[in-house]
Structure 1
Amino acid sequence: MAAVALVAVPMLTSACSGSASSAAKVPGAPAFASRAAGTSNSIDRIIAAEEPADASLMSAGSTAAAIKARGTLKVGGTQTAALFSLLDPTTGKIEGFDAALSKLLAKYIIGKPQTNLTNVTSATREALLKNHAVDSVFATYTVTPEREKVVNFAGPYYMDGLSIEVKSNNDAVRSLKDLAEKTVVTQSGSTAAVVIKEQAPKAKIQLFDTNTECLQALKQGRADAYVLDQGILAGDASTNSDVKVLPGTFSQEPYGIGLPLDKPDFKKFVNGWLRKIEADGTWAKVWENTLGTQVPGAVPAPPKID
């Protein structure tokens, strides 16, 4: 993955907390998904119930103590990933699995769910962490050996897999083998591009920076298929009736919370928090009220934390 200088990274930032912010709707983003009644309020109640960390866990000079003193957790994320982190233009809130977890971490550290979001793409996450523009990245961030050379990952906290999205009236593409000689879009800097080259070598790959751009290319007929993590594609399908996600996955994508490489104490702290919310049922409640509103089946077991 090519390094990206911070000065070259276009960013949209917005304040995010338990209350509404003044964030504007991202042009071209998926429409906000309709959810089960009370879902947003349920997430607010889950966050409100989160107990702040004991002072003994935030010694003087620690990364967590510095964030608490600042009063805001700087988060790298997105406003366009339905089910994970999507801006609701009617409330100004960014909602979803990743968004809720980032607010829970802020509540644990600071005592209130005060976050400041910097929009990231698959290609800009490492640069923002390296330059300390963000404290953490919650953005369906797959842990890989190459990325672990430049990023500390807490977790993994969720296991997904790559899948295929096509237009609803497309019955010609039913599996990976059908991607031969087809135009396939995915996000630059994502693991999907590598997997497509390995498992569908005759596919014609086009790269875009964001989920929104990939989805638009598919909907407009400029691409035959879109390959990315199943959860993200399911979010697209939940807000766009003209696309569908093919059943099944063909990879394992363990999501980690991206942290600066030079802050090993923060990885230990965040892993401790993850173990706590998994053990006390908070993680499961967040899943049920976000991904669980669209993904059938029982609450999955979270992956083993490294």
Structure 2
Amino acid sequence: MSVTSAPRTAAARRRAAAFVSIVAATAVLTTACSGSSSSEAKVPGAPGAKSGSAMADAAPALDALIAAEKPADASLMPAGSTAAQIKKRGELLVGGTQTAALFSLLDPTTGKVGGFDAALSRLLAQYIIGKPATKLVNVTSQTREALLKNHSVDAVFATYTITPERAEVINFAGPYYMDGLSIQVKKDNSEITSLKDLAGRTVVTQSGSTAASTIKSQVPTAKIQLFETNTECLQALRQGRADAYVLDQGILAGNATTNPDVKVLASTFSEEPYGIGLPIDKPDFKKFVNDWLRGIEADGTWAKVWKATLGTHVPGEAPAPPKIG
């Protein structure tokens, strides 16, 4: 989660618009970076957004899309390569979560993990192995690098923002998605409408993320509390132990789709390029995964995965993916 205090560019605003759904003339949202608006922009999970079952309804078509992914040619996976070793093992070890709605959320009725990140990990497994065989290893913001360095996972798909500091200890493929930090509050909260309103208030975020440093730099008087997981941060907000929760807008929007007592502000105040975390000592795999990403972006598969996951709660066409590298 990189820090930026400058006004967003036109391109950044277009990317942020991927999380802005319908507009209703109800209230004024004043943002720290974008000025004010005469209407309230809605994000997934806000009143008027599509129902939480929409992504489940799209699951069969997504499964068919993944199953139709053509496996990589053998020439792309020579003997001894990382991809060849994964294919021989028969499953892709994925670092991820089960608690991030829209990106990677466990459905207790089916036992399956659904969402944008989860779908992409299965698509990569299909490309390597010839079947979407993945084994999920739960990660937190604090454990991702360690699990990659000791090879407990092959790849991390977990709304993983690329930063220079992280890129010193692991490899990143991508970016494959662009998000931005935003603010979540309880549904009846009308006092916090922008970043500056966090001054003097208790704000929760995840330890190991860079949201804390962003808040400290832009709102020095905010009282920051750190928790390891999204679930703990959300619980603190819902129980009234915190005034606001700051993290990537997509994660917060996912929270709102499953918890109607919270809402997400439409404004964002950073750019968060998501990458696929990979072991730093396997450079061949970074090239392999980047080439795969370019392929699914070029042939429209990336956009179809977006439509079946994030797009089930956002109207309009899929946004253009960020430039890889």
Query: TM-score, structure 2 length as denominator?
Result: 0.83
Once superposed, which parts of structure 1, at least 4 consecutive aligned residues long, lie more than 2 Å away? 295-298
Distance 2:206 2:314 in 1: 23
Verify: 1:43 aligned to 2:70, yes or no.
Answer: no
Q: Which amino acid aligns with 1:211?
A: N
Q: Which amino acid aligns with 2:164?
A: P
CA gap 1:74/1:193 in 2 versus in 1, 3 angstroms: same
Name the structure 1 match of 2:159. Answer: 140
Q: Which amino acid aligns with 1:176?
A: L
Compute the RMSD of aligned alpha carbons.
Answer: 1.1
- 1:13-45 per-residue CA deviation (whole Å, 9 max, x = no partner) reads xxxxxxxxxxxxxxxxxxx94225630101101
Distance 1:183 1:297 in 2: 36
Secondary structure in 1 aligned to 2:53?
coil
Name the structure 2 match of 1:181. Answer: 200
Whether contact under 8 Å (1:184, 1:226) holds in the other structure is yes
Counterparts of 1:18-37 in structure 2, within 5 Å, are 33-35=52-54
Name the structure 2 match of 1:84. Answer: 103
Q: Which amino acid aligns with 2:312?
A: T
Counterparts of 1:199-238 in structure 2, within 5 Å, are 199-238=218-257
Distance 1:257 1:244 in 2: 28
Secondary structure in 2 aligned to 1:212?
helix
Structure 1 unaligned runs (5+)? 1-31
Q: Which amino acid aligns with 2:283?
A: P
- Deviation, 1:296, is 3.4
Counterparts of 1:140-179 in structure 2, within 5 Å, are 140-179=159-198
Name the structure 2 match of 1:283. Answer: 302
Pick the aligned partner of 2:209 from 173, 190, 196. Answer: 190
CA gap 1:65/1:34 in 2 versus in 1, 3 angstroms: same
- Deviation, 1:200, is 1.2
Secondary structure in 1 aligned to 2:54?
coil
Whether contact under 8 Å (2:238, 2:262) holds in the other structure is yes
Q: Which amino acid aligns with 2:142?
A: A
Give the number of aligned pairs. Answer: 275
Distance 1:295 1:155 in 2: 23
Distance 2:123 2:316 in 1: 24
Q: Which amino acid aligns with 1:95?
A: G
Structure 2 unaligned runs (5+)? 1-50
Secondary structure in 1 aligned to 2:177?
strand
Name the structure 2 match of 1:117. Answer: 136
Q: Which amino acid aligns with 1:210?
A: T
Distance 1:253 1:101 in 2: 18
Pick the aligned partner of 1:66 from 85, 88, 97. Answer: 85
Verify: 1:101 aligned to 2:120, yes or no.
Answer: yes
Secondary structure in 2 aligned to 1:258?
strand
Verify: 1:292 aligned to 2:306, yes or no.
Answer: no
Identity %: 77
Secondary structure in 2 aligned to 1:121?
coil
- 1:245-302 per-residue CA deviation (whole Å, 9 max, x = no partner) reads 0111000000000000000000000000000000010000000010011133421100
CA gap 1:37/1:218 in 2 versus in 1, 3 angstroms: closer
Whether contact under 8 Å (1:33, 1:82) holds in the other structure is no
Secondary structure in 2 aligned to 1:144?
coil
Q: Which amino acid aligns with 1:166?
A: V
Distance 1:34 1:106 in 2: 26
Q: Which amino acid aligns with 2:113?
A: I
Q: Which amino acid aligns with 2:108?
A: P
Verify: 1:53 aligned to 2:72, yes or no.
Answer: yes
- Deviation, 1:304, is 0.2
Higher relative contact order structure (alpha carbons within 8 Å, sequence separation ≥ 6): 2
